[in-house]
């Protein structure tokens, strides 16, 4: 079975069909997400929090991301695999090129994801010029949590919103194939999604994005402590009863536009 491609995802955007994305870190969950029909499997550095028990994503290493990406690749056949470049693994374009190549060559990912705006434009161009697809990430940047002062909503002032709009367009022009928008006002996310030709993946960014992503452990109610307000426990809240049923409930909610609702979005 051939894996989905970026061309297929762009067609879904063009046709107005929503795209589903979940984080995943091992072969067993990768199998069930793949069987359910999730289009993108994200090997996220969120594993630092939900798998390793850290209070941020910062301790995650390249070796760990490669290890988990390998497991996800072995457990799946159809979905596109996107893997995070972890904290300080892409501080320079040359470093980014070396580590991104490792994720594709050793980790069997198809796309690498990195966080940041205008300072990454040269890096994105270098990677894409060398045949490495890139998923950009704007808004709340978990790897910059200390600089941001916490997990806060981004882009609420007009100046901040305009900056995000311009950075999104610039990252697309530099060659990014996908864009994650995290914790930004719904209308801003809608404006950016309409302005771009590449698929926009939202998390806490309202219903207008082309795709929706959640941390798998959040949407199954497995994460200890308080769940992010933009998330939903699809195992308990829908009465799904089983993990495959919860995955189908997530897919149906995203495809029909009922998730995220107003309670999972920001103004």
CATH of 6-264, one of 3.20.20.60, 3.30.420.40, 3.30.70.3190, 3.30.750.200: 3.20.20.60
At 9-21, the pLDDT tens digits run 999 999 999 999 9
Name the token pair of 54.
Answer: 């850290």
What's the CA gap between 111 and 169, in Å, rounded?
Answer: 19
Identify the band that residue 22 occupies on the pLDDT scale cut at 50, 70 and 90: very high
At 204-260, the pLDDT tens digits run 999 999 999 999 999 999 999 888 889 999 998 767 789 999 999 999 999 999 999
Task: State phi, psi for 212 to the nearest 5 degrees.
Answer: -130, 135
> What distance lies between CA 164 and its chain's CA centroid?
17
The structure's pTM equals 0.96
What's the CA gap between 93 and 179, in Å, rounded?
Answer: 19
Q: Tell me how many degrees the CA angle 55-58-59 measures, rounded to the nearest 5.
A: 85
What's the CA gap between 199 and 248, in Å, rounded?
Answer: 22
Residue 45: CB partners within 8 Å, gap ≥ 6? Answer: 57, 60, 65, 84, 86, 87, 142, 143
- Catalytic residue numbers read 182
């Amino acid at each position: 079975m051939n894996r989905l491609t970026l061309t297929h995802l762009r067609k879904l955007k063009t046709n107005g069909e929503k795209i589903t994305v979940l984080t995943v870190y091992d072969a067993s969950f990768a199998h069930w997400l793949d069987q359910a029909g999730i289009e993108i499997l994200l090997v996220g550095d969120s594993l630092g929090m939900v798998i390793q028990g850290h209070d941020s994503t910062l301790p995650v290493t390249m070796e760990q991301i490669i290890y988990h990406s390998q497991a996800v690749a072995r457990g799946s056949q159809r979905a596109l695999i996107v893997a995070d470049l972890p904290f300080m693994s892409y501080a320079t374009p040359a470093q980014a090129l070396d580590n991104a190549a490792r994720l594709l060559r050793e980790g069997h990912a198809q796309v690498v994801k990195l966080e940041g705006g205008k300072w990454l434009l040269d890096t994105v161009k270098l990677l894409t010029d060398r045949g490495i697809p890139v998923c950009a990430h704007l808004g709340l940047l978990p790897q910059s949590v200390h600089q941001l002062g916490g997990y806060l909503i981004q882009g609420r002032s007009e100046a901040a919103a305009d900056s995000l709009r311009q950075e999104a367009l610039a990252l697309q022009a530099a060659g990014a194939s996908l864009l994650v928008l995290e914790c930004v006002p719904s209308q801003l996310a809608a404006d950016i999604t309409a302005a771009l030709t590449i698929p926009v993946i939202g998390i806490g960014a309202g219903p207008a994005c082309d795709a929706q992503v959640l941390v798998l452990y959040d949407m199954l109610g497995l994460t200890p402590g308080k769940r992010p307000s933009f998330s939903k426990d699809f195992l308990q809240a829908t009465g799904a009863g089983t993990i495959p049923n919860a995955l189908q409930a997530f897919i149906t909610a995203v495809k029909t536009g009922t998730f995220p609702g107003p309670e999972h979005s920001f103004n």
